[in-house]
Amino acid sequence: MSTGDRVFLARLAGIDVFDPGGDQLGRVRDAVTMLRIDRQAPRVLGLVVELAHRHRIFVPMGRVVRIEPKQVVLSSGTVNMKRFERRSNEVLVLAELLDRTVTVRENGQRVNVVDAAIEQNRARDWVISRLAVRTQGGGRLPRRRGQLFQVEWNEVDGLALTEQHQGAEALLATLVDLRAADVATALQDMPAKRRAEVAAALDDERLADVLQEMEEDDQVELLRSLADERAADVLEAMDDDDAADLLGEMPTADQERLLELMEPEEAAPVRRLMTYADYTAGGLMTSEPVIMTPDATVAEALARVRNPELSPAVAAQVYVVRPPQATPTGRFLGTAHLQRLLREPPSALVSGLCENDTGTLRPDTPIDDVTRHLATYNLVAAPVVDDHDRLLGAVSVDDVLDHLLPEGWRDSDRSEANG
């Protein structure tokens, strides 16, 4: 990680932060600096540390006692628990400097920043002393990665300039192991331009997962930063209920334009969900629960619920219906819960295990009644059927919680006072 007292920040990202007593405080997510007009190495003001529940705080570098390969140790004293907010003159090193194109002054070579090294100067201040850079591809083999080398901070030009089209490869490498919810938090702390660049670099599936963890206003802003064709692809990759909620926040003309660009079979369930009122079972449900026909076996059902892309609530039960399986399905027969499936022989038919004694919901059932239904029968999800007992979808407890919590709950810690 380091040479002497030198530490490379991209390798520091994600390591644990401990107080003097050995208790874990959180994990390093970034470092904060202020760029200088002269060529002197900029001072590192502090670290962005993520605590539980994605709450990010600022820890001044003066509180850092040691930086080791697998941990950062702080000095004793009170930590300000107020949520970190980047000031206008501050720069997030990983989020904003990585992937920046700079010029090596000695030979005029254009290179991309892939890491930044910090070390303590004689005054014991931590400064950004060196950069790890990579030469840009080109020539006869444009896909070949360039040469990696290090330069002193004062040996390059262009770091203080705003770059029109900054890449995101090095930054994405620091985010690759994070959950979608944590990436959403990281994007929240970035300037709008950098958020758009990162969104453009993420693949459709990853961006869809991240969007689903953001507040509605941030979702709309990020989706609008994409070209219409790319936005439609991302909406297709989202869960249909989340895509419907996101489109519901946009003007009607924008909704229709993006729906027309989606594949018809992907757009159809989203259009259907958008017809239901907010805060009803229809407005909350997903139209893609795990659905099986009566002749399916327990082994087939267990194979379906093993899909890692399913949420725990959706994977906790399968819904047995007459053909067709696509919603709206044939007549709903009942629910087979995961615990029951695990206790039965793999060759048993799910039709012999399904239950229907807890009843069903109608699409116009208000959220208060949905909540009571789930609580009364200790369910994590419940089927939603139409007047002909055809399965339309399922509403899960996580969707209910998302709508019962106060608006902006994901960002509620912004208003918290110091801890």
Q: What is the pLDDT of residues 125-154, one digit of tens each?
A: 999 999 999 998 654 444 456 899 999 999
> What is the CATH classification number for the domain harbouring 268?
1.25.60.10
Q: Are residues 321 and 261 in the same domain?
A: no
- Total structural domains within the chain: 3
What residue has token string 């790319």? 230
Q: Taking 50 as the threshold, does the pLDDT of residue 1 lie above it?
A: no
Q: Are residues 258 and 360 in the same domain?
A: no
Asked if residue 189 is part of any domain, the answer here is no
Contact (CB, 8 A) for 320 and 294: yes
Range 285-314 average pLDDT: 94
Residues 243 and 306 in one domain: no
Count CB neighbours of 367 within 10 A: 18
Domain range holding 297?
A: 291-404
> H/E element holding 65?
strand 64-68
Answer whether residue 45 is part of any domain. Answer: yes
Half-sphere exposure of 397 (CA within 13 A, CB side): 15
**Residue 77 included in any domain:** yes
Q: Are residues 248 and 346 in the same domain?
A: no
Q: Are residues 310 and 266 in the same domain?
A: no
- Same domain for 73 and 21? yes
Query: Which of 32, 65, 87 finishes a domain?
Result: 87
Together in a domain, 207 and 243: yes
Per the prediction, the chain carries an average pLDDT of 90
Residues 226 and 256 in one domain: yes
> Which pLDDT belongs to residue 414?
44
One domain, residues 298 and 350: yes
Instruction: Specify whether 258 is located in the same domain as 307.
Output: no
| Residue with the larger pLDDT of the pair 53 and 321 | 321
Q: Strands of 301-406 (E only): list them.
A: 317-321, 332-337, 381-385, 391-396
Judged by DSSP in three states, 272 sits in helix
My answer on whether 314 and 399 are in the same domain is yes
Q: Please, what's the b/e burial string for 156-190 (b: 16 or more CB within 10 A of its CB; e: otherwise)? A: beebeeeeeebbbebbbbbbeebebebbbbbbbbb
Q: What is the pLDDT of residues 167-186, one digit of tens each?
A: 899 999 999 989 999 999 99
Residue 176 domain-assigned? no
Q: Which residue has the higher pLDDT, 141 or 80?
A: 80
User: Distances from the Cα of 269 to the Cαs of 17, 157, 279, 328, 346, in angstroms?
Assistant: 45, 52, 18, 9, 32
218 within a domain of the structure (yes/no): yes
For residue 31, give both structure tokens: 């470092």
Judged against a pLDDT cut of 80, whether residue 381 lies above it is answered with yes
pTM for the predicted model, two decimal places: 0.79
Q: Does a structural domain hold residue 178?
A: no
Q: What is the mean pLDDT of residues 360-374?
A: 96
Six-digit token pair at 273?
A: 């969900």
